[in-house]
Amino acid sequence: MDITDWRVKIDEIDRQIVALISERAAAAKEIGKLKRSTSLPVYEPNRERVIFENVRAANKGPLPDIELTHIYERIIDVMRALQKNELASQEKPTDGNQ
């Protein structure tokens, strides 16, 4: 394969990654709704540790575990913000102006 072929391959992989991240975001939003209804916190450090362990266990390279963990730290940050925004958008005003 030449550079053009590799770039076409990367573009297709990027589209797949976007689809999977969007699917993950939809799941995170649903979890945010469940957290709201059960009064669970958005930030759950134990769950995040499990995610990092799962990611490292699934890693076959060539990325080092630490680099993959950095990527997932950012993904989790974004998903946590999404959950917080979801919770904030569902909250009812408490000042009586409904």
For 11-30, the pLDDT digits (tens) are 999 999 999 999 999 999 99
pLDDT at 2: 97
Q: Give the whole-angstrom CA distance, residue 52 versus residue 64.
A: 13
The answer to whether residue 67 sits within a structural domain is: yes
Domain assignment of residue 59, yes or no: yes
What is the pLDDT confidence band of residue 6, given thresholds at 50, 70 and 90?
very high
66 within some domain: yes
In a domain, 58, yes or no: yes
Domain that holds residue 67: 43-88
CA distances for 85 relative to 6, 52, 88, angstroms = 38, 23, 5
Q: Is it the case that residue 61 has pLDDT exceeding 70?
A: yes
Higher model confidence: residue 40 or residue 68? 68
Q: Flag whether pLDDT at 96 surpasses 60.
A: no
Specify the pTM: 0.81
Is residue 51 in a domain?
yes
DSSP percent split of the chain into helix, strand, coil, nearest 5: 80, 0, 20
Per the structure, how many domains does the chain have?
1
